[in-house]
Amino acid sequence: MIRALVLLIFLAVPLAAAFAISDPAEMLPDPKAEARAEAIGRQLRCLVCQNESIEDSGADLARDLRHIVRQHVAAGETNKEIIAWMVARYGDFVRLRPPFEPLTWLLWASPALALVAGAVIVAFALREKRPPPAPLSAAEQRKLKDVLKS
Amino acid sequence: MSAAPPARGLSRRALLGIPLAAAAAAGAGFYALLRRMEAGHYDPHAVDNPLVGQAIPDFAPLPAQDPASIGFGSADLRAALHATGRPILVNFFASWCVPCRIEHPQLMAMTGAGIAIWGIAYKDQAADAAKLLGEEGNPYARLARDENGRVSIDWGLYGVPETFLIDRAGIIRGHWAGPLAPETVRDEVSPLLRKYA
């Protein structure tokens, strides 16, 4: 019984979050415009929760920003214009996908750099196979025999 | 085992040493980060406001918030900056915001020291904000209310309280998100106010 209840709670949590964002009162009547607004909103960070997009967040500010995005979409602005409007107020941080610019070159290049670093390590490791140990000298053979005997 | 194995691509020393050095460097970095967070020099949630260094955003006059009798807009702010030739602090607050109460004594102290603070009540009930200021004192020279929060969004506000320092030319020179601690006032706000006085 308790197990079922806990399961229900865990199932209900993401469900509740999903309902919070698809409040029909917030949506634009035109499904195409609404889809565009959602696509823009998913690229914008909620400044309150910071790791969610404004489409996913239940924060008050995120709701306001969703509303603003829809107003701009309804006014016929392009995605670029709407994102620029947000960046002018909240900086590049508001973009969940950081732009490619000098400050973020290292960030964007990091997967390639990690691959190169890995390749260098593998190349070093493969380059020289350890040579087989030299055969034992006659003196060493005798020593070995003594050790094994004792 | 005393003799090291013959060197090949990566020696055993490097194999152990490189990850160890990387972990030590990361540890030192985290330690420095935590120390700075503890000392209040670094807030991982802080958002750099892109308006710093730019002119204040234009906004039509906002309605007055009790106990003020008139509100203000960007034109009023610019006129006052021009007339006094001294910087003004613009403080966004709300009576429902607990950190705002923590910051309140610092605002009162600054007002007492002759610093002009203009307030904007963010999404607040008029009566609630008036009650707070009645109980704890009103530090604001001018007070307006942003009922739906739209003007605040034009300032890049993402929470309350937030404080902006505007120089006499109407350029935003400082921005603090979160309650102003006495140390923040002493180490950051006051020096900037002196610089742009």
Rounded to the nearest angstrom, the minimum Cα separation between B1 and chain A is 15
- Tell whether B61 is covered by a domain: no
Q: Assess whether B100 and B161 both reside in one domain.
A: yes
* Per-residue confidence (pLDDT) for residue A19, from 0 to 100: 47
Nearest chain B residue to A51 by CA: give it.
B45
Residues in chain B closer than 8 A to A124 (CB atoms): 9-10
Q: Assess whether B91 and B172 both reside in one domain.
A: yes
- Tell whether B80 is covered by a domain: yes
Beta bridge partners of A53: A45
* Per-residue confidence (pLDDT) for residue B184, from 0 to 100: 92
Q: Assess whether B120 and B182 both reside in one domain.
A: yes
* Mean pLDDT of chain A, nearest integer: 86
Find the CATH number of the domain harbouring B82: 3.40.30.10
Choose between B115 and A99: higher pLDDT: B115
* Per-residue confidence (pLDDT) for residue A14, from 0 to 100: 53
Nearest chain B residue to A94 by CA: give it.
B47
Percentage of residues in chain A having pLDDT higher than 70: 85
The arithmetic mean of pLDDT across residues A42-59, rounded, is 91
Nearest chain B residue to A65 by CA: give it.
B153
Instruction: For chain B, say whether A127 makes contact (Cβ under 8 Å).
Output: yes
- Tell whether B63 is covered by a domain: no
Q: Side chain identity at A90, as an amino acid letter?
A: Y
Q: Assess whether B40 and B85 both reside in one domain.
A: no
Full residue range of the structural domain in which residue B8 is found? 1-44
Number of domains in chain B: 2
Q: Which positions ≥6 away from B50 have C-beta within 8 Å?
A: A87, A88, A89, A90, A91, B156
- Tell whether B158 is covered by a domain: yes
Number of H helices, E strands in chain A: 6, 0
Rounded to the nearest angstrom, the minimum Cα separation between B65 and chain A is 22
- Tell whether B56 is covered by a domain: no
DSSP A130: P
- Tell whether B57 is covered by a domain: no
Quote the ipTM score.
0.81
Compute the distance between CA of residue B165 and CA of residue B41 in angstroms, rounded to an integer. 19
Compute the distance between CA of residue B98 and CA of residue B43 in angstroms, rounded to an integer. 18
Q: Is B110 within 8 Å of B185 (Cβ atoms)? A: yes
- Count of Cβ atoms closer than 10 Å to residue B101 Cβ: 15
Task: At B154, list the tokens.
Answer: 């034009």
Q: Assess whether B128 and B188 both reside in one domain.
A: yes
Task: At A95, list the tokens.
Answer: 């973009």
**A2-149, what's its fold?**
Helicase, Ruva Protein; domain 3 (1.10.8)
Residue numbers in chain B where pLDDT is lower than 70: 1-10
- Tell whether B29 is covered by a domain: yes
- Tell whether B101 is covered by a domain: yes
* Per-residue confidence (pLDDT) for residue B1, from 0 to 100: 43
The arithmetic mean of pLDDT across residues A103-126, rounded, is 91
Which A residues in the span 39-98 are in contact with B, Cβ-Cβ below 8 Å?
A: 47-48, 50, 60-61, 64-65, 68, 87-91, 93
DSSP B185: I
* Inter-chain CB proximity B158 and A125 less than 8 Å: no
* Per-residue confidence (pLDDT) for residue A20, from 0 to 100: 47
